[in-house]
């Protein structure tokens, strides 16, 4: 029980050896460690300090919860992560569903392994700004069951938080298992001191699911985690009419496929019907669904996501529903929910994101340099011409989040615009210039060291 670790042979719902109730609570009865825990010195868990240090580089932490399994919580977690990454945020997705890790599948990362470095465990990356961590990467066989008691699951969650090196993150999305059990208590306990933005709760419309979601809301209120909102998933089946199969059932229960005939008939008699979207209620929402529950419990309702076969396919293939036009029904609904979250809770981050394009446009249109080529993002190659002669060539990178300009190289040449450029070995390389204002970036200038002709040139960049 070093560092307050919960022993593997502890009873389920063990309060932990550092708890004041260690060895004394009802959960401790019959535990082989009961006497040791009751007499052991109590104190703060040193691992919480390590977790706080790791989480210091994470701006926002979001829990994705559900009262019931099978409501599409992991699908929502995956697509939320894809959506945030598509906005150029640095995103981490942590899967703490120890017994049913589905995130590797939904991110297209099956078969990947975790690597270690001197900084800790490295996440598996979907893209350069979207990293994932899951026990699914640690299983030798994907079909192998994880048969662990609560203390061992809690120990792995703690290890994920203190040993995974995420680097600088804008958002850490935590996909939790359904319910309100050990994993939920642990993640809240471990992250509480570092600040949790809140929880997004996913449900389906029927009362069977909403009953358990009410318990999830109650859990969040008891442990002090704000409820960012509730998403009603699988809110009716929506699909283009032309994508349906049309069957005729025989008396003995067999089906005859009439799809081809029906489609041909519609093309001939009513072609406008082929553009219609067909909708059907899969779950009983006569009780008012998630919207009514949110009103009754005083929590925000974020919106509805229809049951879209194309979204299901995207999850199976580990793809983003936003990258292609196939998820034309579910993607707009998910995007609306993400935008609502951004506007309500992370408007500062959204303003930085929106300012990115504005700053880039200002850089391109207002700089007195003639731009020869534009690279990725705001990595830019530009030249300054004076009297039809190139006096300066500059490679620059402008980081809109930290408002820093990086000048990576400088050259001088007396070549005409259509001639090859000479390298000016006497030109200084300028490294970092901080911009003092986030709203109005300033003029920056630098002097070139005297060249062979004995002249000093000056160039000015306006961003």
Can you tell me the distance from the alpha carbon of 142 to that of 322, in angstroms, rounded to the nearest whole number? 28
215 is in an annotated binding site: no
Q: 456: Cβ–Cβ under 8 A, 6 or more apart, which residues? A: 447, 448, 449, 450
DSSP string, 345-364: H-HHHHHHHHHHHHHHHHHH
Does 71 count as an annotated binding residue? yes
Distance from C-alpha of 320 to C-alpha of 327, rounded to nearest angstrom: 9
Ligand-binding annotation for 37, yes or no, is yes
Q: 2 vs 41, 54, 436, CA distance in Å? A: 12, 21, 48
The DSSP line for 366-405 is: H-SSEEEEE-STT-EEEEEEETTEEEEEEEEEEETTTTEE
Cα–Cα distance, 343 to 346 (Å, whole number): 6
Distance between first and last Cα of the chain: 57
Alpha-carbon distance 206 to 209, whole Å? Answer: 6
E-assigned strands of 67-219? 91-95, 115-117, 120-122, 124-127, 130-133, 169-175, 198-203
69 is in an annotated binding site: yes
- In this structure, how many other beta carbons lie within 10 angstroms of the beta carbon of residue 461? 24
What is the per-residue burial (b if ≥16 Cβ within 10 Å, else e) of 248-267?
eeeeeeeeeeeeeebbeebe
Strand partners, 26: none
> What are 36's two structure tokens?
């040791």
| Cα distance between residue 173 and residue 92, in whole Å | 6
Output Rg (C-alpha) for the chain, integer angstroms: 29
Evaluated on CA atoms 11, 17, 20, 24, the torsion sign reads positive
| 74 assigned to a ligand binding site | yes
Which tokens go with 26?
């009802």
Is 31 known to sit in a ligand binding site? yes
Residue 116 in tokens:
């270690």
* CA-CA-CA-CA torsion sign (135, 137, 140, 141): positive
Question: CB of 106 within 8 A of CB of 76?
Answer: no
Specify binding-site residues for [4Fe-4S] cluster: 14, 28, 31, 37
Write out the binding residues: 14, 28, 31, 37, 67-74
Query: Which amino acids are annotated as binding site for ATP, given as ranges?
Result: 67-74
């Amino acid at each position: 029980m070093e560092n307050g670790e919960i022993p593997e042979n502890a009873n389920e719902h063990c309060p932990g050896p550092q708890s004041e109730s260690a060895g004394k609570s009802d959960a401790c009865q019959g535990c082989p460690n009961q006497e040791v825990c009751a007499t052991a010195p109590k104190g703060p868990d040193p691992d919480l300090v390590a977790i706080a240090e790791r989480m210091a580089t994470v701006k926002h932490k979001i829990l994705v919860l559900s009262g019931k399994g099978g409501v599409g919580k992991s699908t929502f977690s995956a697509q939320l992560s894809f959506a945030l990454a598509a906005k150029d945020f640095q995103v981490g997705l942590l899967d703490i569903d120890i017994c049913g890790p589905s995130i590797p599948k939904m991110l297209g990362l099956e078969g990947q392994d975790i690597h270690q470095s001197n900084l800790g465990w490295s996440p598996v990356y979907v893209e350069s700004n979207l990293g994932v961590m899951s026990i699914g990467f640690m299983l030798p066989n994907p079909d192998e069951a994880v048969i662990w008691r609560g203390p061992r699951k809690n120990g792995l969650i703690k290890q994920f938080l203190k040993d995974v090196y995420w680097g600088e993150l804008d958002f850490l999305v935590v996909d939790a298992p359904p319910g309100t059990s050990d994993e939920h208590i642990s993640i809240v306990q471990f992250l509480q001191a570092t600040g949790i933005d809140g929880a997004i709760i996913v449900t389906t419309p029927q009362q069977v699911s909403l009953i358990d979601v009410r318990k999830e809301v109650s859990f969040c209120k008891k442990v002090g985690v704000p409820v960012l909102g509730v998403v009603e998933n699988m809110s009716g089946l929506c699909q283009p009419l032309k994508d349906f199969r049309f069957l005729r059932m025989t008396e003995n229960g067999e089906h005859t496929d009439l799809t081809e005939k029906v489609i041909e008939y519609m093309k001939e008699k009513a072609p406008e019907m082929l553009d219609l979207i067909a909708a059907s209620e899969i779950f009983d929402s006569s009780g008012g669904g998630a919207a009514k529950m949110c009103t009754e419990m005083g929590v925000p309702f974020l919106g509805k996501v229809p049951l879209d076969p194309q979204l299901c396919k995207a999850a199976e293939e580990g793809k983003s529903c936003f990258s292609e036009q196939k998820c034309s029904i579910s993607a707009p609904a998910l995007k609306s929910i993400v935008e609502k979250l951004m506007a309500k809770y992370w408007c500062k981050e959204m303003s930085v994101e929106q300012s990115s394009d504005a700053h880039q446009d200002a850089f391109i249109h207002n700089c007195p340099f003639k731009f020869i080529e534009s690279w990725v993002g705001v990595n830019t190659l530009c030249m300054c011409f004076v009297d039809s002669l190139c006096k300066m060539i500059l490679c620059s990178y402008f980081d809109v989040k930290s408002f820093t300009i990086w000048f990576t190289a400088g050259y001088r040449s007396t070549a005409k615009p259509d001639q090859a450029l000479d390298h000016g070995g006497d030109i200084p390389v300028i490294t970092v210039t901080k911009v003092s204002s986030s709203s109005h970036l300033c003029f920056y200038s630098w002097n070139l060291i005297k060249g062979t002709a004995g002249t000093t040139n000056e160039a000015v960049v306006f961003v």
